[in-house]
Structure 1
Amino acid sequence: MAAPDPVTPGAPFEPSQPPVIEGFSPSICSTPESFKEKFLQKTRENPMIAAQGFTVAGILLGLAASAMKSPS
């Protein structure tokens, strides 16, 4: 039984160029999004992000309040 031929790429890999992916055409954003814009967009797409944030904030506030309470 003969060994399979080694696979050779069609073009050499060029690290300074983006990879060519068949069926994908990248779009370059003309204006980069700020953190606030990106956060609001992600929150609108998935409201559970905000719900989890409120839960974590509530836990932290509860821990802070119990730590500041003087022992009797």
Structure 2
Amino acid sequence: MAQSAPPPFDPSHPPVVEGFTPSAYQSREETFKDKFLRKSRENPLVPIGCLGTAGVLTYGLICFKRGNTRQSQVMMRARVLAQGFTIAALMVGVVITAMKPQK
């Protein structure tokens, strides 16, 4: 008796693994909004820093357009500080996430 070739891989069906029973729980696809909210809850300082940076930049550009160059320069320096805060918050979040035990 000749052995027949195994069926080709079918991506619509998971492979059958002997001794493994998939759980009944099917995880749903995480949407952008869900992921954004989850990440914001994990590290709330990053969105705060982003909003602060955008606000300072906007106010600095408004001052520049009005001709208030001194205030515009102060706001651009404040923007750099806000960006630094955001990067620092991001790094702290990465370190905390790396130190958490895996589930």
**TM-score of the aligned structures, taking structure 1 as reference length:** 0.49
* Higher RCO, 1 vs 2 (CA within 8 Å, ≥6 residues apart): 2
**TM-score of the aligned structures, taking structure 2 as reference length:** 0.38
